[in-house]
Structure 1
Amino acid sequence: MAAEQHTRDNGVKRRHRQEGPQKHVMIFVLSAVLTLIAFAAVAAGDVNPVFAVILLLVMALIQVFVQMGFWMHLKDKGHMMPIIFMLGGFLIAGTCIIMALYWVWWD
């Protein structure tokens, strides 16, 4: 891994680890494999529809965490506020979806 040295005021050198391109390639391949698994489940045709929907939802959830963690760098320090705002947005959107479904199916 590539390392960069930083000097503090007291003269102590510390190393700062950087992500190399190999990690980005690995995450890209993981994203492509997850997409291929989801595509294969739908393209197979003879797969149970309930299983296919559950598999698609699980693959989508994994994709969301991979995308936000690595491509949006939310796994790094100092990103707590964007995470909190995203979770708040998901909570509000989920509440609106549940309310809309409840309203549509109200007898």
Structure 2
Amino acid sequence: MSAQDQTDQQPVKHRHRAEGPQKHVVVFIFSIILTLIAFAAAAAGGVNTTFTIILMVVMAILQVFVQLGYWMHLKDKGHLMPILFMAFGFFVAFTCIIMALFWVWW
């Protein structure tokens, strides 16, 4: 058996890239910016209240996606089951809220 035949039979090893702290620092800064935007909207006195509430809700939703995606690592492979369980939980909670509102206002 020649040296070429031996190298052809060796399994290929795939290296897993480490994520490193760079992404975490960027995401942390993004989280701080989202928090500062929400704080500035609440602290500003002359801004319409409806606009402030909508802006804060949007910032909160973005913050949730950032937290789940990067700090809870749900963006990585192999996290389909936790994502499905959370989606089902959101569906159940949303259904309960809608039914409670329907029950109260009927």
For this structure pair, what is the TM-score category when the shorter chain's length is used for normalisation?
0.7 to 0.9
Please identify which structure carries the higher strand content: 1
Q: Distance in 1 between matches of 2:83 and 2:10?
A: 34
1:1-107 paired onto structure 2 within 5 Å: 10-106=10-106
The structure with higher relative contact order (CA 8 Å, sep 6+) is 2
- What code does the residue aligned with 1:98 have? I
TM superposition shift of 1:53: 1.1
Q: Which of these two proteins has the greater Rg computed from alpha carbons?
A: 2
Q: Distance in 2 between matches of 1:38 and 1:14?
A: 43
TM superposition shift of 1:93: 0.4
Unaligned runs of 5+ in 2: 1-8
TM superposition shift of 1:59: 0.6
Unaligned runs of 5+ in 1: 1-8
TM-score of the two chains, using structure 2 as the length reference: 0.86
Q: Distance in 1 between matches of 2:46 and 2:105?
A: 31
- What code does the residue aligned with 1:32 have? I
Please identify which structure carries the higher helix content: 2
Q: Which moved more, 1:13-22 or 1:70-79?
A: 13-22
TM superposition shift of 1:100: 1.2
1:16-58: CA deviation from partner (whole Å, max 9, x where unpaired)? 1111111111111110110010010011021111111111111
1:53-107: CA deviation from partner (whole Å, max 9, x where unpaired)? 111111111111100000000000010010000000000001111111222222x
Q: Distance in 1 between matches of 2:42 and 2:18?
A: 38
